[in-house]
Amino acid sequence: MNTGLILLIVGGLLLLSLVASKVGGRLGLPGLLLFLVIGMLAGSDGLGGIAFDNYEVTQFVGLVALAFILFTGGLETQWRTTRPVLWSGISLATLGVVMTTGIVGAAAHWLFNLPWLVAFLLGAIVAPTDASAVFSVLKERALGLKGKIRPLLEFESGINDPTAVVLVIGLTELATHPETPWWSLLGDFGQEMVLGGVIGYVLGRVSVLLINRIRLPLEGLYSVLTVAVVALTYGLTTSVHGSGLLAIYIMGVVLGNSELVHKRSLRHFHEGLTYLLEVGMFLLLGLLVFPKQLPEVAFPALLLAAVLVLVARPVAVYLSLCGVRMPLAHKTMVAWVGLRGAVPVVLATFPLLAGVPGAQVLFDVSFFLVLVSILVQGTSLPFVARWLGVNEPLSGHSPMPLEYTPTGAGRNDFIEITVPMESSFVGRRIMDLGLPSEALIVLICRNEEYLIPHGTTRLHGGDVLQILAAKPFAETVQARLNALP
């Protein structure tokens, strides 16, 4: 094994993927699509000629990558915006996945002449929306969406993978052991969800205490600590037959919505790690696919993709949200953002490794559907959002460099406030604002320049303020600075 050659290939592919992502953004193409294409070009049927067909490695890498992607998604989930869509997301992640499985399975039975059980297995493989695809494309396109659309999409994509995993593993078991009763799937599903939810929440709370109190000598070691916590949580949950993916996501939500030391640096670390894992996963999946086999399934797979995008996903969304007060245009946007990514391809390795008859067809069709989903839905999101009238400006990242490290006492809060242009306090000196003595303006960002505040400093519209305040006064300060004339 030539270590230098392997590192040369890996480094070259990663660098090429970063350049492709930059170019793809200017061309309006999702980076994930370009990663897949680069992997296919580097594979045995492409220019690179790299032979790779290890499905076990692909499954392992895919599940590990998905665990950290879901953890990062949980860290970035704001509970105050997710709570209103909690039951809607759960409905989409359970009933929606089951309905999509049924509709796509029925179409696959007719299009590919597959046995019913194998056809439903294909439906379960492609049923879940992909967290990495949804998170990545929404960020990449800088797409702001009105109302509850974005938190619902992100929450659904974060929790629907466990449903699909249970369905795929259960249907694979039925296909290889026909004597297994089908209703055993219900018990397995309930056990996976309950254990995953409970363990994820409990270990999330334990992790908050551990991270805040361990007092590591270097800030970078806290990133290592969170990696260890993710691995332990996933391993413990799966060892007791719970959903490790659900546990990881819930733990991420708990950590992301708690006072945590070095939270900003932890988020930055996991954001970079997630991007690396996404690139590596899609490159690996591209290497695994043999493009010469795709034309054999292209026409029926294209029809099945149309059924998935235009029939199964909308029906699942409308029925799952039939009792939810949400504008039709918003539900339609949720239906269109049903992006498929690496998850279906990873799930397709389960029947392959189990020796299910026709499993190679399931793998090739799943990959084809992923290509169509990313190409069609991923590129059209801004146009569809404008057509439905659900797009809005996306709030940017905070320009402030300071990070608040809680001590554990929990008496203070560190808040950021943008002074409205029409605020009644524009033009007034800080000493004349009448802020409580328990609140201190620490830093001002004005026109991309940082200012040290003084009592005589006058506020301008658009100023971003970092304020350290006792918790009871944080909302009071925010309301006062947002006051209109």
The verdict on 347 and 464 lying in the same domain is no
* pLDDT 10s digits, 348-365: 888 988 888 888 888 888
pLDDT of the residue at 99: 94
Which pair of structure tokens corresponds to residue 441? 């303006």
Torsion sign, CA atoms 467, 472, 478, 480: negative
Give domain status of residue 398, yes or no. no
CATH number at 345 reads 1.20.1530.20
* pLDDT 10s digits, 162-185: 888 888 888 888 888 777 777 777
The verdict on 37 and 177 lying in the same domain is yes
Strands 439-446 and 391-392: unpaired
Residue 204 binned pLDDT confidence (cut-offs 50, 70, 90): very high
CB 124 within 8 A of CB 168: yes
CB 471 within 8 A of CB 412: yes
The verdict on 109 and 190 lying in the same domain is yes
Dihedral class, residue 434 (left if φ above 0, else alpha if ψ from -120 to 50, else beta): left
CB atoms within 10 A of CB 327: 15
| Lowest mean pLDDT, pick from 384-393, 396-405, 445-454, 468-477 | 396-405
Cα torsion 132, 133, 139, 141 to 10°: value is 170
End position of a domain, from candidates 341, 361, 392: 392
Give domain status of residue 404, yes or no. no
Mean per-residue pLDDT for 84-94?
89
pLDDT above 90 for 229? yes
End position of a domain, from candidates 328, 363, 392: 392
Give domain status of residue 304, yes or no. yes
Neighbouring-strand partners of residue 415: 467
Give domain status of residue 315, yes or no. yes
Give domain status of residue 399, yes or no. no
* pLDDT 10s digits, 443-471: 888 887 888 888 888 888 888 888 887 76
The verdict on 229 and 82 lying in the same domain is yes
Mean per-residue pLDDT for 428-456?
83
Give domain status of residue 17, yes or no. yes
* 443 half-sphere exposure, CB direction, 13 A CA radius: 15
| Residue that wins the pLDDT comparison between 422 and 442 | 442
Residue 400 binned pLDDT confidence (cut-offs 50, 70, 90): low
CB atoms within 10 A of CB 411: 11
Backbone angles phi, psi at 31, to 5 degrees: -60, -35
| Residue that wins the pLDDT comparison between 131 and 453 | 453
What is the H or E stretch that residue 167 is in?
Answer: helix 149-176
CB 403 within 8 A of CB 265: yes
DSSP 93: I
Residue 474 binned pLDDT confidence (cut-offs 50, 70, 90): low
Q: How far apart are alpha carbons 480 and 435 in whole angstroms?
A: 8
pLDDT above 90 for 203? yes
Which pair of structure tokens corresponds to residue 269? 């670390």
The verdict on 92 and 45 lying in the same domain is yes
- Buried b / exposed e along 382-410 (16+ C-beta atoms within 10 A): eebbeebebbeeeeeeeebeeeeebeeee
CB 361 within 8 A of CB 348: no
- Structural domain range at position 470: 412-481
| Residue that wins the pLDDT comparison between 208 and 21 | 208
Torsion sign, CA atoms 231, 236, 237, 238: positive
Report how far apart, in Å, the C-alpha atoms of 281 and of each of 16, 17, 265 are: 15, 12, 24
The verdict on 44 and 182 lying in the same domain is yes
The percent of residues in the chain predicted with pLDDT above 90, rounded, is: 20
On average, the pLDDT of the chain sits at 82
Give domain status of residue 401, yes or no. no
Residue corresponding to tokens 């018990």: 187
In one letter, which amino acid is 428?
R
DSSP one-letter string for 229-296: HHHHHHHHHHHTT--HHHHHHHHHHHHHTS--TTHHHHHHHHHHHHHHHHHHHHHHHHHH--GGGHHH
pLDDT of the residue at 35: 74
pLDDT of the residue at 63: 87
Q: How far apart are alpha carbons 14 and 278 in whole angstroms?
A: 11
The verdict on 363 and 463 lying in the same domain is no
- CA 270 to mean position of chain CA atoms: 12
CB 453 within 8 A of CB 443: yes
pLDDT above 70 for 29? no
The verdict on 304 and 217 lying in the same domain is yes
End position of a domain, from candidates 360, 392, 424: 392
Alpha helices in 342-436 (DSSP H): 342-347, 349-354, 359-372, 379-388
Give domain status of residue 403, yes or no. no
The verdict on 285 and 150 lying in the same domain is yes
CB 208 within 8 A of CB 258: yes
Residue corresponding to tokens 């026709």: 358
Which pair of structure tokens corresponds to residue 483? 């006051």
CATH number at 429 reads 3.30.70.1450
The verdict on 439 and 339 lying in the same domain is no
Number of domains in the chain: 2
pLDDT of the residue at 478: 64
pLDDT of the residue at 318: 94
The verdict on 57 and 13 lying in the same domain is yes
The verdict on 134 and 243 lying in the same domain is yes
What is the H or E stretch that residue 465 is in?
Answer: strand 464-470
